[in-house]
Homo-oligomer: A and B are copies of this chain.
Amino acid sequence: MFILRLSFRGTGFHGWQMQVGVPTIQQTLRTAIERIFDTDQFPNPSGCGRTDEGVHAIDFIATVKAARDIAPDNLRMGLNTLLPRSIRVLSVERRDGYRDARTLVAGKHYRYIICRTEVLSPFLDDLVWQSRYPLDVEPMRVAVAHLVGTHDFKSFQASNTDVTETVRTIYHASLQERGPVIAIDIIGDGFLKHMMRILCGTLVGVAKGRIAPDDLPAILAARDRSRAGETLPGKGLYLYRLFEDESLLRSAEPEIFSPDILWKCR
C-alpha cells in the first residue's frame, strides 16, 4: 500500500468522504489515482477521518491499495500534476500490507481560527470565521480547560448521527490570542461528527455571556446536544497535525499561532 500525506484547502469541497453529486477530496483523489494506475478496480483511498464541508487540512493521511508497483516519489509527482492545486500530496511512503488510514492515527490536533474584526481581509474569507462580536478570551480560557480528560462528548456531537460510542480523551485544549485572531487548539484521540465546530461554538457562547464558563462539566454530563452552543462554520477549522505515536500525543503542545499557517511550502 501507499501512505499519502496530504494538505488541502477545503473550499469548494464537501469534505473528505465521497458523496453522490458533490465534489469531495476522496473522489478527486480517487479519480487521479485511477488515471495513474489506469484501472478503477481497487478500493477507495481511505482517509484518517471525515472532514466537513469547507474544512482545511494542514496534515492528512490517506492510504491507497497498490494496483501495481510505482516509485513513491513518482506517485507523488504524478498525483500533484493531476490533482487540483487545492489538494497537494506532500509525501508518499510504500508499506507492505493494507491498512485503513484511521488505524495509523492515534490522535489529532485540530485548530479553529476566529478573526474578531469589523472588516475581514479579502484574502481570508474562506479561511477563518469572522466574529464581529468582540469576544473576551478570559472566560473562554476557563471553559476550554474543562474539556481536558476523558469525557462523554455526546452533547458535542451532531444530532443527525447514530454513533453511540461518544467517549473521547482530550489531551490538550487551549486558546491563543494574537491581535484580532483567536486560535483554539484541541488535541485528542478522536473527534465526533461536528465536535470541534460545536466545542468552538460553545466557547463563543461563553465569550458572549450566554453560557457560564464553569457550566462545561454540566453540559458534558447532560449528554444532550441542545445544551451546547452553535455549530461554527467549517471554514475556520484546520486538521493541523496527526499523531501516529500515542506517547507523543499525550504530551503534545500546539505550535504558536502564526500567519505562516497558509505559507508552509515544501
A57 to B27, CA, bound (A): 35
Q: Are B265 and A8 in contact (CB under 8 A)?
A: no
Residue ID in chain B nearest A179 by CB atoms: B265
Q: Are B265 and A117 in contact (CB under 8 A)?
A: yes
Q: Are A265 and B121 in contact (CB under 8 A)?
A: yes
Q: Contacting A263 at CB < 8 Å: which of B80, B90, B259? A: B259
Q: Contacting A260 at CB < 8 Å: which of B7, B56, B119, B259? A: B259
Contact mask for chain A residues 5-42; partner B; CB cutoff 8 A; 1 contact, 0 none: 00111000000000000000000000000000000000
Q: Are A123 and B266 in contact (CB under 8 A)?
A: no
A215 to B258, CA, bound (A): 40
Query: In this assembly, does A70 line the interface, its C-beta being within 8 Å of a C-beta of chain B?
Result: no
Q: How far is the CB of A14 from chain B (nearest CB, A)?
A: 17
Chain A interfacial residues counted at CB < 8 A: 33
Query: In this assembly, does A138 line the interface, its C-beta being within 8 Å of a C-beta of chain B?
Result: no
CB contacts (< 8 Å) of A56 on chain B: these are 123
CB contacts (< 8 Å) of A86 on chain B: these are 122, 125
Q: How far is the CB of A198 from chain B (nearest CB, A)?
A: 25
Q: Is the interface of A mostly helix, strand, loop or mixed?
A: loop
Contact mask for chain A residues 69-93; partner B; CB cutoff 8 A; 1 contact, 0 none: 0000000000010000111111000
Q: How far is the CB of A172 from chain B (nearest CB, A)?
A: 24
Q: Contacting A90 at CB < 8 Å: which of B88, B119, B265? A: B119
A117 to B85, CA, bound (A): 13
Q: Are B265 and A123 in contact (CB under 8 A)?
A: no
Q: Are B262 and A7 in contact (CB under 8 A)?
A: no
Task: Kindly list 18 other residue pairs between chains A and B, CB separation below 8 angstroms, not including A121-B265, A180-B265.
Answer: A7-B122, A8-B122, A9-B122, A80-B119, A86-B122, A87-B122, A88-B121, A115-B265, A119-B265, A119-B266, A120-B265, A121-B262, A123-B127, A124-B263, A179-B265, A259-B260, A259-B262, A259-B263
Query: In this assembly, does A118 line the interface, its C-beta being within 8 Å of a C-beta of chain B?
Result: yes
CB contacts (< 8 Å) of A121 on chain B: these are 7, 88, 262-265
Q: List 17 A-B contacts (CB under 8 A).
A: A7-B121, A7-B122, A9-B122, A9-B123, A56-B123, A86-B122, A86-B125, A88-B121, A88-B122, A89-B119, A115-B265, A117-B266, A119-B265, A121-B265, A123-B127, A180-B265, A262-B262
